[in-house]
Each structure stands twice: as structure tokens, then as C-alpha cells.
A and B are shown apart, each in its own frame.
Chain A
Amino acid sequence: MKRTAGEKSAAGGAAGGKTVTGKAAGEGGGRAGRVGRLRPETRWAYVFLLPWLIGLVLFQAGPMLASLVLSFTDYDLIGAPEFAGTANYARMMEDPKVARAIGNTVLYTLLHVPLAIILALALALVLNRITGRAAGVFRTIFYLPSMTPYVAVGVLFLFLLNGQAGVVNAFLGLFGIEGPQWTTDPDWILMGIVLMSLWNLGSTTIILFAALRNVPRELTEAAMIDGAGPWQRFRAVTLPMISSALFFVVIINTISSLQMFDQVYTMFFGNQIAQQSYGDAALFYVIYLFQQAFQFLHMGYASALAWVLFIVIAIITLIQVRVGNRMVYYEAEEHAG
């Protein structure tokens, strides 16, 4: 247990627990002597924390470090891992499929996140203008797509987006528009995926709707009395008041977009015919990682891919902390005792 606690302070220190760090920081020397005579209550506390500490070492921190080590090796499950230096990272730089996967994933994220949030905010704003039961009913309807397993979503949109006879193109046809081959034309596959992703706005809408409901009514009313129009009230009162929720949904949508897998894998991968005919138009980063790891058993290369993804997501999280603390309006928030 002593060992885990030590590892923890290394891992957790970076994440920055500011509550008790004061106590923990200065005690480097004293700790060894103290463990022997922990207060009984402290010992009990660690009993309750034990599952977490074991899981942390076994399934979080341990695997993270292991994948860092593996990323510098060649490992195919059969022989022992062989040290390969930075070869995997060098290979990433030259692998055209990595470039394609990053391009697709970034483009998808840049399209999905703003569109999803603008649409969800619009829905939440409209929901906030009606009262009572109706709002709850609509909220339920908007959330239903999010209860559909991603594999089923992928299957469903394979049919809906069918270029010859799908509902989407039939709808476009009503307006005399000849819809593209969403699921087979490499130039349109990514757009089809974005369209599919916009069906799942439920949780973003619910978070923004909850934030809107917390905007104190006095504020909007005061602004109205001061002669502010609807747009000014939105810009000057509502938007700042929901900025933390807005910022939060931007971050979680970005992070989950970068890890897109299920729907796209269902539609375009794992099936020989599909995989050949669409080229790499639907190749997302995590799909490529998955293929490298579990189809080609390139465990070292897959680990390098995983660590690059981890660093990108860590940077995004860091930006969240930095920019978020500066730009977002928070109310005072204090829990620790």
C-alpha cells in the first residue's frame, strides 16, 4: 500500500489536487516513519480506497506506462517485445494512412462540434421558452436517439443514407435535389458521417437546457427593463451565464469526436467488401489504431498511436483548464472540508 501511495503522488501531483497538497507536499521525509502508526481512521480510509488504488495501478497508471514503454518496441504477441527506439514514431510520420486518418478525424471534429453545439443550443433556447410538461416531452424525444446503440445507429444510417433509395436522398428529391452517394462516394462519406452524428444531440441539449434554466430570471428581466433587445439579452446576459456549460460541451464533444469509432466501424469496416470499395475515406484515427493493434498485431505501433492521441487530448484538457479559468464565468465552488 505504501508503494501505491507513492506512485500516486507522482501521478496525481501533475493533475494538481490543490485541496490537501499543502499537507502532503512537505512530508516527504516524515512519511516512512508515520505509516507504522497511522491513526485507525486513516487505516480504514485506505481500506475503502483500496479498490480504486488497485484499479489505478492495474488498469490505469500501469497500462499507461506500459503502453509508453511498448511504443518504443516491436511487439506482435508471439515473440518478446524488441526495443525499436523511436522507429514507431518515425513510421507514424511517414505512414500515409496516419495522415489520412488524422485528416478525416480532424475534419470530422471541426464540422461536428460547432454544428452540434449550435443546433443543440438552438433547441435548448427554444425549449427554454415553453413551460411545463411540453418541455419535458420534447426533451425526451430529443434524447431518444442517444439511447440507440451506436452499432444500430450505424446500421440505420447505412440504410437512411443509401444513395439510390435512402430516406435522406428521397427527402432531398422532394426539392428536386439529387442527393450524393453518401455511403459509397469517397468525397461524401465524411459528410454522411457528420450528418449521422447530428442525430445525436440529446445529451448536449440537456446540459445546455439545464444551464439555461439556471440563469436567474431577474437578470434577463433587468436587461429587458433597461431596453435590451432579445439578441442583446442573449449576448450580454444568457451567453456569459451559460459559458461554463457551453465550454464543457465543446470539450466533451471534441474529445469524443477525436475518438469516434463504433458507428463508422459498423458502417465501413470489418467487412471485406466494404473495406475495399471505400478506400480510406472513412478511416478514423481510433479505427486505424484498432486495426494496427488487433488485426495486424502491431502492438508497439498501436501504442505509439495511442500515446500521440493521449498527448493531444491532454493538451486539449490543459487548454480547457487555462482558457476556461480565464474566460468562463464560474460561481464560487467549494466542497472539500
Chain B
Amino acid sequence: MMAVEPITSAVRPETARPAQGAAPDPAGRGTGKVFFLTVLAAASVIFLYPFVWLVVASLKPRDRTFSDPFLPWPVPFRPENYVAVWDAAPMLTWLVNTVVVGVAAALAVTLSSAFVAFGFAYFRFPGRGIIFGSVLATMMLPAAVTLVPTFLIWNAAGLTGTQVPLWAGNLFGSAFYIFLLRQFLLGVPRYVFEAARVDGASYFDLFWRIALPLSRPALIIAFIFELKASWFDLMKPLIYLQDPALYTLPRGLKAVVDQFYQGGDPKWEIVLAASVVTTLPLIVIFFLGQRYFVQGIATTGRR
């Protein structure tokens, strides 16, 4: 338990408390605020410009990719790149694969983690501290350590070359989400559960009818974080997938950049358009679920 104290303290629910410590310096309010806004605006330009450049360059013909690096619109305008990219690579297949694998991974981890978290939050039983200790301990376990044996397991199961290893490991819960969901469920007053017990509800009812609906915000956080993680994942597709028809977008984009960035016949506009196609859906998801992301980072410290 000690091992995670910094996490737990970053986690405290108060982080979600309304802005209150934001103490503007009463002395220099007017000029100070203008100065701070200017600094933030300058920083925003630095953070946003790479996106602007990416989109603009993806809409230009190949021989103009690097021209006018500070012009924030494409000259000449060549939207046909976005038609060409679907022909140059099976982007649509990859997009569908990414969504399917991502949803499977996110659903699996959300439900199994909630199931386990309910076990930790509701029951008191011998060994609970030690087993919960094992949850915390695996948070520190770098994925690289288990890379080889995990591959050997999937290999022995005959599932390398399929998408199963990309999500099935999530069926057993994941430490971060178990931790998050347990914290959340500990905040539910116990009498809510006890009352249902008295009314004859089974433990599965408690989980399915009470714990799950009540932990909706935490479930959404777990779901979108795992969806994002799956959408980012390059290493597992590199290890497990050989057939390009099974690739996810990151693996596909890696193949596109390997083929078209260098070599005899570079097609930069294809590489750039493929990058936009890979990134855009996540940005949309981010705007839809923004408050969950911010809450999730502040509470779990996950990136």
C-alpha cells in the first residue's frame, strides 16, 4: 500500500473540487492578467502549430510539402490527397480494425476491473490487504518485463497472427482501473448495498444493479482511457500481426511511413494524410469526453 502513496495523494477526490485556490494577485490584477494571458496564448501557438502544419501540408501537392512553412492554409489546395490515401493504403480496414479492437479492449477492461473493484470495495475477507497489495504492485511492473513470456503464451495458444492478443489480456482487469473504481465505490454509503441485501438482492445484483450504475463516471473514464491506450498501441500490433489486413491504424501508419517517407519514390502527402486520419478520430473523442479525461488524469495520473 505504501508503494502508491504519491498516487493516492494525487488521486484525492478534492482535485475535482471547484476552482478555489486560484488566487489572483490582488496587487497586480489588471496588467498581471494581460501578461499571463499573453504567455498562455504564445504557448498555445507552440502547442497547436504542429497540428496546423500537419493538416495544411496534407492538403498540398507533394512538391510543396515543405514550402511556406508558416502559411496557415494550403497553397495550392489539393484535397485529392485524401482520396489518394485510401487507395495507397487500406486505411478504412485499419480504421475499422482499430475501432473493433479498441472497443473490445475498453469494454473488457472496464467490466472486469469493475467486477474486481466491487469485490475489493464491498467484501471484507482474509487476505484482502495482500491481494490488493498485488494490484498496486503490478502498477509498477513495466510492460517490457512480461513482453517475451506473454508472447510465448499467445504463441502456445496459437493466437499469434490474430487480433486476440491485442485485447484479451484485458479480460482480467487492470490495476489502474481497479484502483480507480475501488476508490469510487468506497465513496458509496454502505447502507445502499445493505438495504438491497435485505430486500433479497444477490451479490451479482449488487454489482450489476447498484455498483455499476453508480460508478458510471469512473467507468467512462476507464473506457475512454483504455480506448485511447489501444488506439496508441504500436508494440503489440508489431509483435502479433503480420497480415496488413489485420493492422490497426498505428501499425498501418508505421507501414505507410516506412514505405513512403524515404526511398526512391517518397509520397509525403500520403504519409501526412494518413497521419491525420489516424489522429482525427481521437481528437473528436477527446472533445466529446473532455471532462472525463481531465478528471481521469487528475485522479489516476495516467497519461
Residues on A facing B (Cβ under 8 Å): 5, 8-9, 11-21, 23-24, 27, 34, 39, 41-42, 44-49, 51-56, 58-64, 66-67, 70, 77, 123, 126-132, 134-135, 138-152, 154-160, 162, 164-167, 170-171, 199, 202-203, 206-207, 210-217, 220-221, 230, 244-245, 247-249, 251-252, 255-256, 258-259, 261-262, 265-266, 270-271, 273-274, 286, 289-290, 293-294, 299, 302-303, 306-307, 309-310, 313-314, 317, 320-321, 324-325, 328, 330-331, 333, 335-337
Contact = CB atoms under 8 A, between A and B. Distances in A.
Contact of B147 (A12, A52, A131, A293): A293
Interface of B: 1-3, 5-10, 12, 14-15, 17, 19-25, 32-33, 36-37, 39-40, 43-44, 47-51, 53-54, 57, 65-66, 69-70, 112, 115-116, 118-120, 122-138, 140-153, 155, 169, 171-173, 178, 183, 186, 203, 207, 228, 231-232, 234-235, 238-239, 249-251, 253-254, 257-258, 261-263, 268, 271-272, 275, 278-279, 282-283, 286, 290, 293-294, 297-298, 301-303
B interface majority secondary structure: helix
Given A15-B3, A21-B129, A130-B36, A293 B151 contact: yes
Given A45-B125, A48-B118, A14 B303 contact: no
Interface core residue of A21, A64, A151, A270 (most chain B CB under 10 Å) = A151
Nearest to B138: A60
B83 to A, nearest CB: 20
Contacts of B251: 151
A13 to B, nearest CB: 7
A325 B2 contact: yes
B172 A58 contact: yes
Contacts of B40: 123, 126-127, 130, 134, 138
B262 to A, nearest CB: 5
Contacts of A245: 6, 9-10
Nearest to B119: A48
Contact of B142 (A18, A131, A150, A313): A313
B116 A15 contact: no
B19 A252 contact: no
Contact of A248 (B140, B183, B250, B301): B301
B169 A59 contact: yes
B257 to A, nearest CB: 5
A130 B126 CA distance: 50
B172 A148 contact: no
Contacts of A166: 66, 69
B173 A52 contact: yes
A159 B57 contact: yes
Given A144-B51, A211-B10, A337-B124, A67 B149 contact: yes
Nearest to A125: B36
14 contacts: A21-B130, A45-B123, A48-B118, A51-B173, A66-B152, A126-B36, A130-B36, A132-B19, A147-B286, A149-B278, A151-B278, A171-B70, A213-B22, A293-B147
B137 A11 contact: yes
Contacts of B127: 5, 8-9, 20, 24
B131 A53 contact: yes
Contacts of B25: 129, 230
Contact of A203 (B134, B178, B303): B303
Interface core residue of A23, A156, A158, A165 (most chain B CB under 10 Å) = A156
Given A45-B123, A59-B146, A313-B142, A149 B15 contact: no
B120 to A, nearest CB: 7
A144 B203 contact: no
A147 B231 CA distance: 10
B167 to A, nearest CB: 13
Contacts of B271: 155
A149 B37 CA distance: 29
A293 B145 CA distance: 12
Contacts of B138: 56, 60
A159 B65 contact: yes
Contacts of B125: 39, 41-42, 45-46
Contacts of B57: 159
Contact of A324 (B6, B24, B39, B254): B6
Nearest to A16: B2
A216 B172 CA distance: 40
A78 to B, nearest CB: 12
Contacts of A320: 3, 6
A8 B131 contact: yes
Given A139-B294, A147-B228, 20 more contacts: A12-B131, A23-B126, A24-B127, A42-B125, A55-B171, A59-B150, A123-B43, A131-B22, A131-B24, A138-B44, A144-B47, A151-B253, A199-B47, A213-B20, A217-B20, A252-B303, A259-B144, A302-B147, A325-B5, A331-B9
A44 B123 contact: yes
Nearest to B33: A130
A246 to B, nearest CB: 9
Contact of B23 (A44, A221, A335): A221
Contacts of B21: 128, 212-217
A21 B25 CA distance: 49
A146 B151 CA distance: 28
Contacts of B70: 167, 170-171
Contacts of A221: 23
Contact of A265 (B50, B144, B234): B234
